[in-house]
């Protein structure tokens, strides 16, 4: 009775933490099932500190998954996760400091890549070339060229490659997308997507220092430019520095842009323009814009991306979401649910709705779409069918490339026009030069 009560309480607490929350070790251990060795799937994690480990906790909830190896450049993180894995599954994973050695491990059948963005391309390509399946965190890469290489590698090697845009595994998103495509909203001319992050405080300016004991900083930098160690650029805050990531445009943008484009059945924009900057915290240590608006032009509609730090009151009173604005009604969807807000008209003093009002549909209690995304990944591996994936590498590439275009428009400070047939910006050498990134420290862009 105590055990059942504990599981109920822990499940409720986990649901309350939100879909991206960590799960307690005891909860994971208590829910694991014993299965035969022939049914086990050996999974490894490369980059174990944040979403890499969150993803592994959800894979622990999938029957038959065993964590056989861990890799991280921070020895403290590596030891912490190894101890947690042993408590969960009763067996310690092997530990590595160099992902290339991990990929030689024959017990590793699939890898979860949870490193900073600038490492994703190299690791994903090396993994599929080594015959491993891959779950790679979003955005899939730190440049458009890297995205293309990863998409080509997925096709060439035929492995199962899931991208961590887990909203694609959300049942309420599926319902909302079906409504958008039903035509009931009328002509959709504008789609809004946004992320307002009120919890984000200024990144304080800190002096350079020696790397923490047990950190292989050279390996952490990898193909990024060589710089002195600074705690601001390490672990979570790497997101706000161009060397390693693309700020909120790529961090949150790929989630929301993915749903927007999928619902609208669009892939590449005709043009993009963006405006913003460090307007909330102009003097903090971060580089990427804390405030940005980007307008993407597609055939038949525009998409407006917005992000802002230090503010929670976003569009329609939601901190994040997507709004499909049609002539008859607007559908708003985010991680909490979706609703339809109808347009009205007056006839003879009577207000009439253009379409039937549709009250907010909230997600079910205890829903965990990251776990569902992990299950989908494992199911596709066992069926040896990448076509079963909710968010394969091609899908992840579309969202990331669009997000990178938004950053390129911001960096150039002008409207840029995309030539989809050429894969370049039209008559714009500066914008086209930003499609790729230079690799450093003797690391080279993968070749297929």
Q: What's the CATH code of the domain at 343?
A: 3.30.360
63 and 89 share a domain?
A: yes
- Answer whether 164's CB lies under 8 Å from 135's CB: yes
Domain that holds residue 334: 170-270+279-289+296-363
Q: Tell me the C-alpha distance between 317 and 351, whole Å.
A: 24
Query: Is there a domain that residue 430 lies in?
Result: no
CATH number of the domain to which 13 belongs: 3.40.50.720
What per-residue confidence (pLDDT) applies to 9? 44
User: Lowest mean pLDDT: which of 10-19, 28-37, 141-150, 265-274?
Assistant: 10-19
Model confidence band, residue 22 (pLDDT cutoffs 50, 70, 90): low
Can you give the pLDDT at residue 427?
A: 95
pLDDT of residue 350 exceeding 90, the answer is no
Q: What is the mean pLDDT of residues 47-62?
A: 96
Whether pLDDT at 50 is above 50: yes
At 425 the pLDDT is 98
**Are 175 and 163 members of one domain?**
no
Domain-embedded: residue 156: yes
Question: Residue 305 domain-assigned?
Answer: yes
Verify that 303 and 223 share a domain, yes or no.
yes
Rounded Cα distance between 67 and 234, Å, is: 25
Residues 138 and 41 in one domain: yes
Please give the pLDDT value at position 31: 67
Task: Inform me whether the pLDDT recorded for 6 exceeds 50.
Answer: no
Regarding whether 186 and 335 lie in a shared domain, the answer is yes
- Stated pTM of the model: 0.92
In this prediction, residues 309-335 reach a mean pLDDT of 96
* pLDDT score recorded for residue 30: 67
Instruction: Please name the residues in contact with 260: beta carbons below 8 A apart, sequence gap of 6 or more.
Output: 191, 193, 303, 322, 324
**pLDDT in the model for residue 366:** 82
Contact 159/136 with Cβ under 8 angstroms?
no
Average pLDDT estimate for 298-310: 97
Average pLDDT of span 234-256: 97
Instruction: Count up the domains in the chain and report the number.
Output: 2
208/342 same-domain check: yes
Q: Above 80 in pLDDT, residue 289?
A: yes
Q: Which residue has the higher pLDDT, 24 or 422?
A: 422
Please check whether residues 145 and 262 belong to one and the same domain. no
Distant-in-sequence, close-in-space partners of 198: CB < 8 Å, separation ≥ 6: 309, 310, 311, 312, 313, 319
Q: What pLDDT was estimated at residue 8? A: 43
Vertex 45, ends 40 and 46: CA angle to 5°?
A: 150
User: Counting Cβ atoms within 10 Å, is residue 349 exposed (0-12), middle (13-18) or buried (19+)?
Assistant: exposed
pLDDT of residue 21: 65
How far apart CA 387 and CA 381 sit, in angstroms, is: 10
- Kindly report the average pLDDT of the chain as a whole number: 93
CB environment 126-157: b (16+ within 10 A), e (fewer): bbbebebbbbbbbbbbbbbbbbbbbbebbeeb
Strand order in the sheet with 301-309: 358-362, 337-342, 329-334, 320-326, 188-197, 301-309, 291-298, 271-277, 416-419, 424-425
With beta carbons less than 8 A apart as the criterion, state whether 44 and 69 touch.
yes
Q: Which residues contact 163 (CB under 8 A, 6 or more apart)?
A: 135, 136, 137, 138, 140, 391, 392, 393, 395, 396
Q: Confirm whether 120 is domain-assigned.
A: yes
The whole-number pLDDT of residue 36 equals 66
Which residue, of 322, 342, 363, is where some domain finishes? 363
* 79-128 pLDDT tens trace: 999 999 999 999 999 999 999 999 999 999 999 999 999 999 999 999 99
Please count the other Cβ atoms lying within 10 Å of the Cβ belonging to residue 441: 12
Do 158 and 228 fall within a single domain? no
Res. 18: pLDDT tops 50? no
Q: Would you give the distance in Å from CA 390 to the centre of its chain?
A: 13
Tell me the pLDDT tens digit for each residue of 389-407: 999 999 999 999 999 999 9
What pLDDT, on a 0 to 100 scale, did the predictor assign at position 359?
Answer: 81
Whether residue 283 lies inside any domain: the answer is yes
Tell me how far apart the terminal alpha carbons of the chain are, to the nearest angstrom.
Answer: 56
Q: Above 80 in pLDDT, residue 7? A: no
Based on the fold, state whether residues 244 and 107 are members of the same structural domain: no
Domain end among 319, 345, 363: 363
40 and 93 within one domain: yes
Is residue 357 in some structural domain?
A: yes
Q: What is the pLDDT of residue 344?
A: 84
- Asked whether residue 20 falls in the same domain as residue 31, the answer is yes
Q: Do 154 and 180 reside in the same domain of the chain?
A: no
The verdict on residue 411 lying in a domain is no
Asked if the model's pLDDT at residue 28 lies above 90, the reply is no
Backbone angles phi, psi at 122, to 5 degrees: -55, -50
pLDDT-based confidence at residue 2 (cuts at 50, 70, 90)? very low
- Domain presence at residue 404: no
pLDDT tens, 151-204? 999 999 999 999 999 999 999 999 999 999 999 999 999 999 999 999 999 999
């Amino acid at each position: 009775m105590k055990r059942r009560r504990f599981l109920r309480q822990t499940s409720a607490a986990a649901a309350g933490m939100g879909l991206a929350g960590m799960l307690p070790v005891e909860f994971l251990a208590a829910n694991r099932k014993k299965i035969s060795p022939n049914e086990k799937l050996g999974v490894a994690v490369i980059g174990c500190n944040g979403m890499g480990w969150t993803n592994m906790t959800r894979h622990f909830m999938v029957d038959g998954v065993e964590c056989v190896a861990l890799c991280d450049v921070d020895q403290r993180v590596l030891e912490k996760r190894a101890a947690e894995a042993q408590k969960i599954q009763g067996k310690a994973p092997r530990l590595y400091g160099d992902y290339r050695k991990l990929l030689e491990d024959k017990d590793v059948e699939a890898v979860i890549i949870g490193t900073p963005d600038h490492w994703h391309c190299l690791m994903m390509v090396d993994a599929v070339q080594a015959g491993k399946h891959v779950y790679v965190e979003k955005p899939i890469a730190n440049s458009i060229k890297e995205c293309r290489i990863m998409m080509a590698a997925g096709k060439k090697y035929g492995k199962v490659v899931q991208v961590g845009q887990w909203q694609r595994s959300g049942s309420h998103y599926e319902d909302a997308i079906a409504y958008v495509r039903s035509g009931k909203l009328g002509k959709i001319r504008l789609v809004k997507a946004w992320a307002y992050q009120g919890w984000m405080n200024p990144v304080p300016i800190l002096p350079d220092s020696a790397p923490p004991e047990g950190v292989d900083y050279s390996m952490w930098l990898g193909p990024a430019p060589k710089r002195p160690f600074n705690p601001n650029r390490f672990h979570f805050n790497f997101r706000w520095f161009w060397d390693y990531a693309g700020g909120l445009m790529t961090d949150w943008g790929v989630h929301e842009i993915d749903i927007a484009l999928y619902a609208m059945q669009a892939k590449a924009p005709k043009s993009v323009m963006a405006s913003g900057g460090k307007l909330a915290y102009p003097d903090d240590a971060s580089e990427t814009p804390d405030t940005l608006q980007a307008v993407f032009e597609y055939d038949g509609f525009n998409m407006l991306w917005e992000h802002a730090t230090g503010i929670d009151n976003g569009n329609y009173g939601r901190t994040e979401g997507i709004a499909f604005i049609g002539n008859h009604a607007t559908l708003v969807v985010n991680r909490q649910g979706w609703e339809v807000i109808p347009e009205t008209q007056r006839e003879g003093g009577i207000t009439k709705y253009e379409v039937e009002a549709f009250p907010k549909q909230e997600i079910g209690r205890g829903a965990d779409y990251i776990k569902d995304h992990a299950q989908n990944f494992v199911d596709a591996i066992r069926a040896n069918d990448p076509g079963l994936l909710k968010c394969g590498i091609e899908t992840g590439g579309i969202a990331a490339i669009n997000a990178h275009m938004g950053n390129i428009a911001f960096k150039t400070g002008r409207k840029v026009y995309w030539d989809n047939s050429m894969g370049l910006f039209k008559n714009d050498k500066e914008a086209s030069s930003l499609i790729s990134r230079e690799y450093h420290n003797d690391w080279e862009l993968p070749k297929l």
